[in-house]
Amino acid sequence: MENYNDFKKYSILIAEDDPIALNSLVNILKRYFKNVLTAVNGSEAYEKALSHKIDIILTDMRMPHQDGADFVKQLRELDVNLPVIFMSAHTDSKTLLRIIPLNITEYLVKPIQIGHVLQLCQELFKKKEAIVYEQQVAKYLYHLDSGVVVDLAHRVVSKEGEMILLTKKEFELLSLLIKNKQSILSKTQIESFLWDGEIVSESSVKTLIKRLRSKIGEETIVTAKNLGYKICIAS
């Protein structure tokens, strides 16, 4: 069996009214998941899904009090879009038509293969992690008015797919301007951030600004007369 150790940061909710089947699933899945929560009917599953941090749901279709389809429908009505894997011995069209609108991940016919469940979970978690990674990268990705793209996280500057090579000080200045994009930075502030008390020539900031403008676009850094400099981020 594949290595699923990375599941240890995730929690799964299992809804199953058959105690033997439930115990079997718990005994296997607790080896892989951080938390394994259980419910014996849809009502209990609904309450736990709302009161605990759950990453994925594995639910039986037919259960007392409230079945799996009704339980998941309630979640969807609250815009709770947790991934759901259904398991059932029933494959009739009436059952399938009930779950089609519920945006489920998979419908497994009993007896289920636990390896298949783990593979589905792995695929889901990889997609989730990819989305989270893209969101994190997006926080540090800036598009300048000149068409230049700045990736602060990876210290990459490019335009139309072509890399723009900056010196260490040029990138530090660019990063400083971006992080303070709502403000005008004075010459004194820039000197303080970039040279940290070192004695520099009177023209150091002006020269550095000129060099950076030549690489990322003259119009990208605006001079506010007698105040300082501001970068133009594309809206």
Burial (CB count <10 Å: 0-12, 13-18, 19+), residue 63: buried
Count of residues making up the chain: 235
Q: Which CATH class is domain 142-231?
A: mainly alpha
Residue-wise pLDDT for 79-99, tens only, equals 999 999 999 988 888 888 889
What pLDDT shows up at residue 206? Answer: 94
Backbone angles phi, psi at 222, to 5 degrees: -95, 140
What pLDDT shows up at residue 140? Answer: 84
Residue linked to tokens 């990705």: 141
Taking CA atoms, 213 is separated from 6, 48, 102, 109, 208, in Å, by 45, 56, 53, 63, 9
Q: Which residues contact 157 (CB under 8 A, 6 or more apart)?
A: 148, 149, 150, 151, 163, 164, 166, 171, 174, 215, 216
What is the rounded CA–CA span in Å between residue 13 and residue 62?
16
pTM summary value = 0.67
What pLDDT shows up at residue 235? Answer: 64
Domains 5-138 and 142-231 share a fold: no
Domain residue extents for the chain: 5-138, 142-231
Helix axes 204-216, 168-179, angle to 10 degrees: 90
Bridge partners, 14 (sequence order) = 38, 58
Give pLDDT < 50 ranges for the chain: 1
Fold of 5-138: Rossmann fold (3.40.50)
Average pLDDT, the chain: 92
What pLDDT shows up at residue 61? Answer: 93
What is the rounded CA–CA span in Å between residue 154 and residue 135?
14
